[in-house]
Structure 1
Amino acid sequence: MSTSVKPIPPDMHTVTPHIICSDAAGAIDFYKKAFGATELARLPGPNGGVMHAMVRIGDSNVMLADEMPNCGSASPTTLKGTPVTLHLYVEDVDAGFARAIEAGGTTVMPPTDMFWGDRYGVLKDPYGHSWSMATHKRDMTPEQMDKEMKEMMANWKPPAQ
């Protein structure tokens, strides 16, 4: 192994999401419109789909590919949901969230001031992936968070499904 090759490429973080999409090409277009993503790479698959791609959102890379059920690779659309939420910190959550909804996302929870100091909202992209977006507004002590969490939970009503 060459000593000039780094085990973790310099433009990558330790953890990088790798998501499976029912239409990776469409997802790339959505992420460009919704989140200002830049396409870094795209490897076409044998049937004209996307075997592998990578986009950069802010300072982070996201890998993605079309689902391949014969290889055990299914998208949230096929699975009827996802337990995973991808989180984005942005400069202005209200503007960023509106942009994502305008691009075709669906509101799960509109941006709201939260007890941990972020203004935070959740949306679903057209390909079934869940994204939360936030702007950090206040630095909070653990005691402040605990107090505000208890106040919020006393008045909390779950979002309409």
Structure 2
Amino acid sequence: MPFASIRIITEDVARLADFYELVTGATAVRAGEVFAQLSGPGATLAIGSSRTVAAVPGAAEAGANRSVIVEFRVDDVDAEFERLRDAAPAVVLPPTDMPWGNRSALLRDPDGNLVNLFAPIPGAAPAAG
């Protein structure tokens, strides 16, 4: 089964799409006020209004995520962190070497979702996320 995308449900599609355009450098394809999609090599991030799941009450709640991390592998964690820190509502973890072999910085997007900017540490054991 091919992977299609991850969709974040929000009350403000434009605000979240603008943020992820800044993070990725990609331009979101927007379908009115209710949907936007950013596609890149190997992944698609979809952003949908809470109106897109209204037919299934309680299925998804905007701004309530505390279990998923949106991750971006970058060339230079410190440089990307500096570029994005003022656009992020909160810094959770400044650039830090993790024990599993990655350098990571954690930010919150405008809806409070956790965003990980990471890069493998040269010479360390390879790891994901």
Same fold (TM over 0.5): yes
Q: How does 1:9-158 map to 2 (within 5 A)?
A: 14=3, 16-39=5-28, 41-44=29-32, 49-50=33-34, 52-57=35-40, 59-68=42-51, 70-71=54-55, 72=57, 73-76=60-63, 79=64, 81-137=65-121, 138-140=123-125
Max Rg structure: 1
Which structure would you say has the larger RCO, counting Cα contacts within 8 Å and 6 or more residues apart? Answer: 2
CA drift at 1:57: 4.8
SS class of match (2:85): helix
Give 2:21's aligned amino acid. K
Alignment CA distance shift 1:32-1:58 (3 Å): farther
Instruction: Show structure 2 runs of 5+ residues with no match.
Output: none
User: 2:12, 2:120 → 1: CA distance?
Assistant: 32
User: 1:34, 1:101 → 2: CA distance?
Assistant: 10
The structure richer in strand per residue is 2
SS class of match (1:99): helix
Compute the TM-score of the two structures, normalised by the length of structure 1.
0.65
Instruction: Show structure 1 runs of 5+ residues with no match.
Output: 1-6, 9-13, 142-161
Compute the TM-score of the two structures, normalised by the length of structure 2.
0.79
Give the number of aligned pairs: 121
The structure richer in helix per residue is 1
SS class of match (1:110): strand
For residues 120-141 of structure 1, give each alpha carbon's deviation from its aligned partner in whole angstroms, at most 9, with x where no partner exists. Answer: 1211111221111111113328
CA drift at 1:58: 5.6
Alignment CA distance shift 1:25-1:75 (3 Å): same
User: 1:58, 1:22 → 2: CA distance?
Assistant: 27
User: 2:24, 2:95 → 1: CA distance?
Assistant: 15
Sequence identity percentage: 29
User: 1:19, 1:127 → 2: CA distance?
Assistant: 9
